[in-house]
Structure 1
């Protein structure tokens, strides 16, 4: 039987995908390892620029103008090398998104591949990029016009109030539209064909439920992030408090000791794991909507309207 689409079921769908156990843990850990490797590669490509800024603060008392000639000589090359990270990052995203959606739509075990699913998801990602660009301009216009009207009619206070109300309404509309098209990746993996606008029909009658799911997920995520970084901030303040009054050279040496670097690196690794877990969890509601699609005959059966 196809699972019912309910608010609670959508929120917890990442726990009810079927398939071998331990998917989320493997997903998060591998994502973090590859994420660290990718960031290390990006740092290495951009290192000539970072090295100049480090010398500016350690040797030049923070005066970057003394190093502008060196910076100009290496920045273009470093920026060109950095552009190489765009396809690498896109491919890494596609690999993990495909693994996540295969879990949801096919109850597959965790595995990373570079194949047809990943290629189709890259096309879906490009459509999302176009959607975001269009939404940016629509948001700007949707906020600017009410703010101008409010300013003309009620003065500066009216412009601020109308602008804030319009911004909230525009953000809500944007989130609702994102919710309506959110099953695009799940449908693409499900049908083994590029799907995007088809998601509109799949989410008919489910839009507000998806909206509520994503809104609650965003709030929970923000609270979790604030708590996590609040703990790190408090720990950082405690460490700096112990070094208060220490000479700058000694403070620098103290901050690069294993006692500081290892916990900081571990905290960063945990943060990336958390980001990876959110990536998979956030896909749950949309994937359940795709599974609950009345036009879908199930794995191996195709779409009823197209093949009946």
Structure 2
């Protein structure tokens, strides 16, 4: 076990922590299996509402509406998706719970040296709270540029109504769009700083068995660059591997699904073919492999910040273990 925090220790912590020969693989396989079952369950349960959405789009295609007004088209399209809104909320909440269960298991290995186990109790509830705060942090730094871009797009409609030419429309929106991209880039840099400083919050919550978020700021003090550098290396290398594997999987998926779905002439035919047993088996295999890689990257990428939390300046895990042995 690493006796002190360092860049090398942060980079390699996932491969030096206990249970290295079993935990990452069992964790990733369970992560893939649970999420695949959850996704397939949603697909099966929501198939009836998906049929309503397809029927709504077919009705829109056959109905006469003012397609010269983009706002009307956007309103109709959003309205057609209404039956799936509830399933979207269910998927989001379910994913939140599943993520908390697996993130807690991952951090228990790093902080408590525990083997793989899943459950739902105090650790998971606290992790859900930390995950919610993390989502709010991300939203704060991403919504402003999106609102700016959305406002620019909506301004296009007013220009169209006023009879502006294409050149006038292009000149009027290019500035706001580039401005939004500039704001996004600056906010992205600020987000990286805050995300790195607060990254130990997940492991710290497991360590203290209490909700911890802003407390992670003190844990990462003086460790910003080692945490960020180790995380970037892990995500770049892991991201390249996952991206290559994903492209290979998608190529095979398209090759299998194209013959199965190519004969569908209507939306109803497409949905029936898509929900057939053969297609679902192919999708399940794709999800299992893709999510296995995602789960593995998720666990390994959590190592650098977890090592920082393990060496909490207020009292490290190894210090506490040594004190227990001495006592």
Rounded Cα–Cα distance in structure 2 between residues aligned with 1:223 and 1:41 = 30
Indicate the residue corresponding to 2:160 in structure 1.
Answer: none
- The unaligned stretches of length 5 or more in structure 2 are 64-76, 150-171
Q: Deviations over 1:169-209 (max 9, x none)?
A: 43222112101100001001001111111111111111122
Indicate the residue corresponding to 1:151 in structure 2.
Answer: none
Rounded Cα–Cα distance in structure 2 between residues aligned with 1:206 and 1:24 = 25
> Retained in 1: the 8 A contact 2:242–2:293?
no
> Retained in 1: the 8 A contact 2:198–2:220?
yes
Indicate the residue corresponding to 1:289 in structure 2.
Answer: 308
1:219 CA drift (Å): 2.3
1:120 CA drift (Å): 1.1
Structure with the larger RCO, 1 or 2 (CA within 8 Å, 6+ apart):
2
Rounded Cα–Cα distance in structure 2 between residues aligned with 1:230 and 1:86 = 25
Rounded Cα–Cα distance in structure 2 between residues aligned with 1:256 and 1:128 = 35
1:63 CA drift (Å): 3.0
Change (3 A) 1:185 1:74: same
Please, which of 211, 233, 236 is the counterpart of residue 219 of structure 1?
Answer: 236
Indicate the residue corresponding to 1:152 in structure 2.
Answer: none
- The unaligned stretches of length 5 or more in structure 1 are 144-154
Rounded Cα–Cα distance in structure 1 between residues aligned with 2:15 and 2:280 = 35
Indicate the residue corresponding to 1:210 in structure 2.
Answer: 227
How is 1:56-205 mapped onto 2 (pairs within 5 angstroms)?
63-65=58-60, 78-80=84-86, 82-137=88-143, 166-205=183-222
SS for the counterpart of 1:5 is: coil
SS for the counterpart of 2:46 is: helix
> Retained in 2: the 8 A contact 1:176–1:208?
no
Larger deviation, residues 89-98 vs 159-168? 159-168
1:10 CA drift (Å): 1.3
SS for the counterpart of 1:12 is: helix
Rounded Cα–Cα distance in structure 2 between residues aligned with 1:265 and 1:112 = 22
Rounded Cα–Cα distance in structure 2 between residues aligned with 1:260 and 1:85 = 21
Q: Deviations over 1:221-272 (max 9, x none)?
A: 332233123323544676699x7xx9768xx899999987755542321001
Q: Deviations over 1:100-122 (max 9, x none)?
A: 01000011010011111111111
Change (3 A) 1:297 1:167: closer
Q: Give yes or no for the alignment of 1:7 onto 2:26.
A: no
Q: Give yes or no for the alignment of 1:230 onto 2:247.
A: yes
TM-score (ref. length: structure 1): 0.73
Larger deviation, residues 283-292 vs 72-81? 72-81
> Retained in 1: the 8 A contact 2:198–2:213?
yes
SS for the counterpart of 2:36 is: helix
Rounded Cα–Cα distance in structure 1 between residues aligned with 2:183 and 2:217 = 25
Change (3 A) 1:72 1:183: closer
Aligned residues: 281
Q: Deviations over 1:13-41 (max 9, x none)?
A: 11111147411111111111111121122
Indicate the residue corresponding to 2:26 in structure 1.
Answer: 26
Please, which of 266, 274, 298 is the counterpart of residue 293 of structure 2?
Answer: 274
SS for the counterpart of 2:213 is: coil
